[in-house]
A and B are shown apart, each in its own frame.
Chain A
Amino acid sequence: MKVHEYQAKEILRRYGVPTPRGIVVDNPEDARAAAKELGGRVVVKAQIHAGGRGKGGGVKLAKSADEAADLTKHMLGMTLVTHQTGPEGRLVRKVLIEEALNIDKELYLGITLDRRIGMPVVMASKQGGMEIEEVAERDPKAIHREPIDAVLGAQPFQARAVANALGLEGDAYKKCVDFMQKLMRCYIETDASLAEINPLLVTKEGNVLALDCKMNFDDNALFRHKDIVEMRDLHEEDPLEVEASSFNLNYIKLDGNVGCMVNGAGLAMATMDIVKLAGGEPANFLDVGGGASAEQVKNAFRIILSDKNVKAILINIFGGIMRGDRIAEGVVSASREVGLPVPVVVRLEGTNVDLGKQILKDSGLPLITADGMWDAAQKVVAAAKGQA
């Protein structure tokens, strides 16, 4: 799960991680008041779930409270396009008004899971403001990596190693050591999957603060973080995906016209792949889960058909323990109830698959049966092109 910058900073502050003072607002008058409270010279930052806001015009300096109000008025309601939003962009609904600070250095500090070693790893680089992937590509040696024992936490020597790698001295050095240890505690205790401070700011006064912060959280651990769940912003998600998640369907919308309904995540990805190989474009990823019950198939039909680009649907179910005839009955009853405006190709595998195919044929519905994934993919791509 993702949160906004202002929410991530709220979480950081709970762990004593220093951030600039800031107030989130959704109208120009509140922005003016916030700027006054923060001393007039502020930064106005659009709050969307995507990086690259600065280049897209979503981060601006205001020299006065009036200017902060003007900038806020302009920014709210604008569709911000960055390299991470895609061409459709994101609507700005809130802005963060933050005190402007005297920048000495901009550094990078991030924590994420290193899957190879099964430990969280702190990454530090002097090249703040640049994306870490870009640094890794151009100059991998410029990134200091410090794997952390998740049970013992970050040891003081590791925090010092990070501060050393960032080339800090004196007061800033000490503050960075403290910053990193607190950030690590925050990362572990909130079940974060990413905590990225970019840039990590060193002020001319020698203070160390999180100037920007991106945090993602492990969806599997949200059951023990009700406070973080409350921060979910549904505006930032595709409405169809939100609806699908309420049915426990794993749905991701794509740009093509072949709807896919599959059981199992791997098979669902493989189905998208084979649709593409057959000359089509998948309209979605959708995992109906192991059971593929009539109820779930019905919900899945509704979600897929809400996407008006869909010209044909491929149902690919490897029955496993569930019998093919039962799945076929489910598909038929769901199809009757939903009504099928587009051709549907069904590929069933598992026990009683022949019985299942017969049920599909006898239903009188526009269901096209297929043998194997390649046959299914070719048939659905032809159907989507109107050649069924």
Chain B
Amino acid sequence: MAIWADKNTRVIVQGITGREGTFHAIQCRDYGTQVVGGVTPGKGGTTHEGFAVFNSVREAREKAAANCSLIFVPPPFAADAVMEAADAGMELIICITEGIPVNDMVKAHDYLRKSNARRVAAGETPSRLIGPNCPGIITPGEAKIGIMPGHIHRPGPIGIVSRSGTLTYEAVGQTREIGQSTAVGIGGDPLPGTNFIDCLEAFEADPKTEAIIMIGEIGGSAEEEAAAFVKANVKKPVVAFIAGQTAPPGRRMGHAGAIISGGKGTAAEKMAALQAAGIHVVKAPSEMGAKVREVWGK
């Protein structure tokens, strides 16, 4: 099934009647994703562009058997939307929204941890949050749950995980002939729901994935932690690129999480850690595809 998303995933869109929500719900449906409805509080019972609208995520789960939520709720309300999706038992929660306050996400993560502990204790599947501030997830030919351009993807053996949206598309474009198993955008925020390690672990276990491209950037230490994980646990070849080799320190480079602070989180440090873990690090973003072709199947 590749990882996490496939043709059986039943998706609802939180914020479906908004401009972005409407546009992308249609795009996902056109790709072949099972979009089974949407949620806009106060508009339940109506139909919007052919989608059933519900008042709450719980209602959407009960009436439309949804197990995945795609969130386009504006930043001040997005963390609440994530918690509502978790409460309703959504197994996959994909939050596209950019600009959520860090404190809101700290609370949402805390809620998710507790809610997942209850679910695991009850023998139920815990929720996985992807994002926020991300393009979503796509398993080519099966399901596109996010804002990425579906048509550039082809089913194939390369798993892609990235902190950046358009750089994911770049990697997809460069692996056009080989194809991708699943591409996951984990987002540019400082506190992502799903991190590199989660994706690497899933790709390693996924029989359809044969090689992995990971795209990191400056800020934080997620790449260093991923490097240690790869060294100990990943047998499949991994190619990595780190964006921000020329970024000045102390400046936030577009993404809330992309900042070199106190001399930490530089591209050089990350590249060195990845290299030391046996990962094939490319300096130029244009070399990701060529490098993965070189190491794939060896």
Contacts and interface: CB of A to CB of B under 8 A. Distances in A.
Interface of A: 84, 113, 115-116, 118-120, 131-133, 136, 149-151, 188, 191, 193, 218-221, 223-224, 250, 252, 254, 262-277, 282, 285, 287, 290, 318-321, 349-351, 372-374, 377
Given A113-B190, A320-B166, A349-B173, A273 B147 contact: no
Dominant secondary structure of chain A at its interface with chain B: mixed
B247 A150 contact: no
Nearest to B241: A270
A317 B217 CA distance: 19
B36 to A, nearest CB: 22
Interface size on B, as a range, is 35 or more
Nearest to B149: A320
5 contacts: A265-B255, A266-B165, A269-B258, A320-B169, A373-B285
A265 B285 CA distance: 14
A116 B195 CA distance: 10
A170 B188 CA distance: 46
Given A118-B191, A270-B285, A272-B247, A220 B166 contact: no
B246 A273 contact: yes
A351 B150 CA distance: 11
Given A220-B100, A269-B217, A270-B241, A287 B170 contact: no
Contacts, number: 170
A191 B99 CA distance: 13
Contact of B217 (A84, A266, A320, A372): A266
B107 A150 contact: yes
Contacts of A131: 262
Nearest to A317: B166
Q: Which of A271, A274, A351 has the most CB of B within 10 A?
A: A274
Given A115-B221, A273-B246, A285-B254, 13 more contacts: A113-B191, A115-B257, A118-B105, A150-B106, A221-B103, A221-B104, A267-B167, A267-B170, A269-B243, A269-B254, A270-B170, A318-B173, A372-B286
Contacts of B283: 273, 277
B110 A151 contact: yes
Contacts of A219: 252, 256
A254 B255 CA distance: 17
Contacts of A221: 101-104
Interface string B185-202: 000101100000000000
Nearest to A132: B262
B50 interface: no
Contacts of B220: 115-116
A333 B241 CA distance: 34
B102 A193 contact: yes
Contacts of B225: 116
A271 B244 CA distance: 9
Contacts of A188: 103
B247 A373 contact: no
Given A115-B257, A266-B188, A272 B246 contact: yes
B40 interface: no
